[in-house]
Amino acid sequence: MSEIIELTVKTNRGEEMIDITGVVQKALQDKGVANGICHIFIPHTTCGLTINEHADPDVVHDILATLDKMVPAHGNYRHIEGNSPAHVKTSLVGSSQTVLIAGGKLRLGTWQGIFLCEFDGPRQRKVWLKIVSEA
């Protein structure tokens, strides 16, 4: 059984999408895994995970701007902590992704990157990885 790898990511703003493709790639290289799958999980309720374009930063801008339109900053929210929009956005993007590993590398599409989506920062966030190697 392989263990769970815990990565730490420090976010810098209230909302941002941080490209974590490189740190995930390094983790599987450190494990020496050639082929298999990598499950990536975010153990937070106001921070999510998505895969999208990491070539043009305007895509990230547009995703965050669109989420803002979908989930207003102020509304008839009941959650007393006051960060309901961050909780809703996290559920919209989700908390996990699974990526194939081939030849020691994450098998992503040409333009794809893995993004940690901070919706209630800045904070220190955890990312849990489970790397399953083909025997």
Specify the length of the chain in residues.
Answer: 135
Measure the CA–CA gap between 56 and 62, rounded to whole angstroms.
11
Stretch that binds Zn ion, among 49-57, 83-91, 96-104, 122-130 (CB under 5 A): 83-91
- Stretch in the footprint of Zn ion (CB under 5 A) among 12-20, 73-81, 93-101, 106-114: 73-81
Q: How far is the CB of 87 from Zn ion (least distance, A)?
A: 6
Q: Taking the complex as a whole, how short is the minimal distance between the CB of residue 115 and Zn ion, in angstroms?
A: 21
The amino acid that residue 119 corresponds to is: F
> What are the two backbone dihedrals, phi and then psi, of residue 21, each rounded to the nearest 5 degrees?
-55, -45
Tokens of 80: 């007393």
Q: Which helix (H) or strand (E) holds 92?
A: helix 84-93
Among 83, 95, 112, 133, binds Zn ion (CB under 5 A): 83
The minimum distance between CB 64 and Zn ion, in angstroms, equals 19
Of 30 and 81, nearer to Zn ion (C-beta) is: 81
Q: How far is the CB of 84 from Zn ion (least distance, A)?
A: 7
Q: To 5 degrees, how large is the angle CA 118–CA 10–CA 13?
A: 50
**Binding residue for Zn ion, selected from 30, 58, 62, 81, defined by CB under 5 A:** 81
Spatial separation of the C-alpha atoms in residues 19 and 113, rounded to whole Å = 6
Q: Which residues bind Zn ion (CB under 5 A)?
A: 81, 83
